[in-house]
């Protein structure tokens, strides 16, 4: 029986990326990461950075690393990182073709990150928020104990301070090398969202290519606002697994952001150029709400009928300033 | 003694031990998937009286891969929600091999809400290879359905007990696994992906499934050691299918104990406690110090099956 969730490793993603060009004469060498896979325009690194890694010719969105995403979205100098000292352990002593620890150190060196998620407090268009971003180049953006813990801490801080949480996800799903502990991060991050919702704190989930498996099936699906970048693959099971299990020909836009929008799974597809403005707008709208305080059990505090009238009557009858002096005497 | 052996033999001994461990774990996987193994309805049949099965998501679909119902369990009414596999070819197709569609998780959510309103403790039974990976399932929001099912469970005011009774496969399993107590039958498995899926991704060869299973150790004992499971429930010798009535009694005892211990805790703290339980899950290094290792007795809390 095939797998039903595809917490993919980065190699799998590389294969998938090659699928489109393969329809043309087979490419002899792998594309340079700064060459557009759609129109083959090539960019120097600084050029690509300057255009937010969006192809100026065809609009293809290149992947963005976690730290660069923060630079793109947060107001300059506003980002205050949290949970920087977290690193993955190897609780299962897991070895596939290579030991997990080796893959980890390689990812650390390649990305300069501690794990696949970066989080911190920031402002976006002047509005305060807690921002988490994921990095697909760190082991396929897979979620293990560290990613789960970073997200949970970010959500806890957002809930405590009453400032909105924004996550930008890019992940193959749960990290197989931590097996059941990785699976449990789904429940853990959902619990973190539950606390946010109970506290009446807004959560905006931005889905970047690809957001699949255990990440889209946990916190990333639960945003009050869920938006996606164009062309992003957003599915629980990867196309390969679906293909192998069902033996159907998949629609060409299977699981893509545009198709997800059509099926009512997300609120909007937002181009990267517009993403910061869109987030700023959402944050401003959220700040304009009239928040009803919530009790810990999740029920809104609504005074029973008649209470408001009685309080008003009491206030009208009360001699001016008496409440304070009476309190002092008692 | 090992150290006195010449080097090549030491390697051989290690490889033999690895091979032995590998086949132990593979046996566990096969036992968990044995098609004689009792499924949710087999347990519901034996655990509760006055069973009434509930059907449908109230939005156009009844997913047969998820069964739900209410019944009387040792003096209280409980709701049972579980995956259901089929035994013969026809029933397997009818149950979609225990792989739920988004509508199945919607059905689960509806029954959770009902149980919460009416004060029925929720007992879930996990036994699925995973959520169904199909085009229509994706278009109907499989990912969101799983996430929302988990979220609904974190909010229940009634006690929630989850039991892994066979195959706990990935998000499709955990979707009904967010509970105050998580029980796992001795010969069941719980993992983030099937051994086959893991092998085809990490080894790039589905035939390496035994190696994959040995590497990620989906057994009850290991899940207990990692703090994911609270109780390992003993099975009759040879597995639950050897004596289904007895297996159901043993599971019933464990569920009953779990319910009593949850009911003894203050109800107003239940949701926060459930959240805190999952909040603690994971093992990582913080500034070089290992965090999250569980302190357990060496042996899981199973009573012997005799």
Distance from CA of B291 to the nearest CA of A (A): 9
DSSP of A180-202, one letter per residue? HHHHHHHHHHHHHHHHHHHTT--
CATH superfamily of B15-291: 2-enoyl-CoA Hydratase; Chain A, domain 1 (3.90.226.10)
Strand residue runs (E) in B87-133: 122-128
Residues B1-24 have a mean pLDDT of 68
- Residue A194 to residues A122, A317, B249, B281, Cα–Cα distance (Å): 22, 43, 35, 16
Q: Is the dihedral of CA A46, A50, A51, A56 positive or negative?
A: negative
Residues of A in contact with B281 (CB under 8 A): 145, 148, 181, 184-185, 187-188
Name beta bridge partners: B290.
B285
pLDDT of residue A4: 41
Residue pair B228/A182 in contact by the 8 Å Cβ criterion: no
pLDDT band at A214 (very low <50, low <70, confident <90, very high): very high
Beta strands in chain A (DSSP E): 80-82, 86-88, 117-124, 127-134, 165-171, 203-211, 225-228, 268-269
Residue A17 pLDDT level (bands cut at 50, 70, 90): very low
* Min distance B283 CA to chain A CA atoms (Å): 6
Inter-chain residue contact B143 with A219, CB threshold 8 Å? no
CA B263, distance to chain mean position in Å, is: 22
Find chain A residues with C-beta within 8 A of B143's C-beta. Answer: 216-217, 220-221, 234-236, 265
Angstroms from B5 CA to nearest CA on chain A: 26
pLDDT per residue as tens digits for the range B74-88: 999 999 999 999 999
Apex A137 CA angle, A136 and A138, nearest 5: 90
Instruction: With beta carbons less than 8 A apart as the criterion, state whether A185 and A144 touch.
Output: yes
Provide the token pair at A213. Answer: 């498996």
Measured distance CA(A296)–CA(A195) in Å, rounded? 9
CB pairs under 8 A between A and B: 261
Of B190, B215, B292, the CB nearest to A180: B190
With tokens 């836009």, the residue in question is A253
Q: Which of B143, B157, B281 sits opposite A184 (nearest CB)?
A: B281
What confidence tier does A8 reach under pLDDT thresholds 50, 70, 90? very low
From chain B, the residues in CB contact with A250 under 8 A are 135
- What is the pLDDT confidence band of residue A289, given thresholds at 50, 70 and 90? confident
Tell me the domain boundaries of chain B.
15-291
Contact B284 A149 (CB under 8 A): yes
ipTM of the complex: 0.92
Joined together, the tokens standing for residue A151 give 């997200």
Split at pLDDT 50, 70, 90, the class of B131 is very high
Find the closest chain A residue to B99 by CA distance.
Answer: A4
Higher pLDDT pick, A314 / B78: B78
- What residue spans define the domains of chain A? 63-287
- How does DSSP assign A116-156, residue by residue? SEEEEEEEETTEEEEEEEE-TTTGGG-B-HHHHHHHHHHHH
Report how far residue A111's alpha carbon sits from residue A135's, in angstroms, rounded to the nearest whole number: 8
Q: Is the pLDDT of residue A303 over 80?
A: no
- Mean pLDDT within A13-35: 56
For the record, the structure tokens of B292 come out as: 């999250």
- Nearest CA of chain A to the CA of B138: how many Å? 6
pLDDT beyond 90 at A30: no
Distance CA B183, CA A322 (A): 60
CATH number of the domain at A63-287, please? 3.90.226.10
Residues of chain A contacting residue B175, judged by C-beta atoms under 8 Å apart: 217
Instruction: Give the pLDDT band (50/70/90) at residue A2.
Output: very low
Are the beta carbons of B191 and A180 separated by less than 8 Å?
yes
Q: Which residues of chain A have a CB within 8 Å of the CB of B286?
A: 85-87
Quick check: A9 and B202 CB within 8 A? Answer: yes
């Amino acid at each position: 029986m095939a797998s039903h969730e595809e917490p993919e490793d980065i190699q799998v993603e590389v294969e998938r990326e090659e699928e489109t060009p393969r329809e043309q004469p087979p490419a002899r060498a792998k594309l340079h990461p700064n060459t557009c896979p759609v129109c083959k325009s090539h960019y120097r690194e600084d050029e690509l950075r300057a255009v937010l890694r969006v192809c100026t010719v065809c609009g293809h969105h290149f992947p963005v690393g976690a730290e660069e995403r923060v630079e793109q979205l947060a107001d300059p100098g506003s980002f205050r990182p949290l949970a920087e000292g977290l690193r993955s352990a190897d609780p299962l002593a897991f070895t596939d073709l290579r030991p997990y620890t080796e893959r980890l150190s390689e990812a650390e060196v390649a990305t300069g990150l501690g794990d696949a998620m970066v989080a911190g407090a920031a402002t976006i268009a002047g509005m305060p928020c807690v921002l988490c971003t994921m990095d697909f180049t760190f082991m396929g953006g897979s979620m293990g104990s560290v990613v789960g813990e970073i997200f949970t801490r970010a959500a806890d801080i957002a809930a405590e301070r009453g400032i909105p949480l924004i996550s930008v996800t890019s992940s193959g799903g749960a990290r197989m090398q931590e097996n059941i502990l990785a699976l449990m991060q789904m429940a853990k991050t959902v619990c973190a969202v539950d606390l946010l919702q109970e506290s009446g704190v807004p959560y905006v989930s931005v889905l970047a290519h690809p957001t699949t498996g255990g990440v889209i099936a946990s916190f990333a699906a639960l945003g009050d606002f869920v938006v996606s970048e164009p062309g992003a693959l957003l599915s629980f099971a990867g196309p390969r697994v679906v293909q192998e299990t069902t033996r159907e020909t998949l629609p060409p836009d299977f699981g893509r952001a545009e198709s997800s929008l059509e099926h009512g799974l997300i609120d909007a597809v937002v181009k990267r150029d517009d993403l910061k403005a869109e987030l700023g707008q959402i944050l401003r709208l959220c700040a304009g709400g009239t928040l009803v305080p919530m009790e810990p059990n999740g029920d809104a505090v609504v005074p029973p009928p008649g209470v408001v009238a009685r309080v008003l009557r009491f206030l009208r009858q009360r001699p001016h300033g008496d409440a304070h002096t009476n309190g002092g005497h008692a | 003694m090992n150290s006195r052996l010449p080097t090549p033999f030491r390697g051989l001994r290690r490889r033999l031990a690895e091979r032995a461990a590998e086949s132990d774990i593979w046996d566990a996987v096969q036992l968990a998937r044995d098609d004689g193994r009792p499924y949710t309805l087999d347990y519901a049949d034996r655990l509760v009286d006055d069973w009434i099965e509930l059907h449908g998501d109230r939005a156009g679909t009844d997913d047969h891969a998820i069964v739900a119902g209410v019944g009387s369990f040792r003096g209280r009414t409980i709701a049972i929600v579980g995956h259901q596999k089929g035994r013969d070819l026809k029933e397997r197709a009818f149950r979609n091999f225990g792989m739920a569609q988004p509508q199945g998780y919607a059905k689960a959510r509806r029954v959770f809400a009902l149980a919460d309103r009416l004060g029925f403790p929720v007992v879930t039974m996990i036994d699925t290879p995973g959520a169904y990976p199909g085009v229509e399932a994706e278009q109907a929001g499989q990912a969101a359905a799983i996430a929302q099912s988990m979220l609904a469970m974190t909010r229940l005011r009634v006690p929630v007990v989850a039991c892994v009774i066979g195959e706990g496969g990935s998000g499709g399993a955990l979707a009904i696994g967010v509970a105050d107590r998580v029980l796992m039958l001795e010969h069941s498995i719980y993992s983030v992906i099937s051994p086959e899926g893991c092998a085809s991704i990490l080894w790039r060869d589905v035939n390496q499934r035994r190696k994959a299973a040995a590497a990620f150790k989906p057994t009850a004992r290991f899940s207990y050691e990692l703090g994911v499971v609270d109780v390992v429930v003993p099975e009759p010798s040879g597995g639950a299918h050897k004596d289904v009535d007895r297996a159901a009694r043993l599971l019933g005892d464990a569920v009953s104990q779990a319910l009593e211990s949850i009911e003894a805790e203050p109800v107003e703290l239940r949701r926060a406690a459930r959240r805190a339980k999952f909040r603690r899950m994971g093992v990582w290094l913080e500034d070089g110090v290992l965090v999250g290792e569980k302190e357990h007795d060496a042996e899981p809390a199973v009573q012997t099956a005799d």
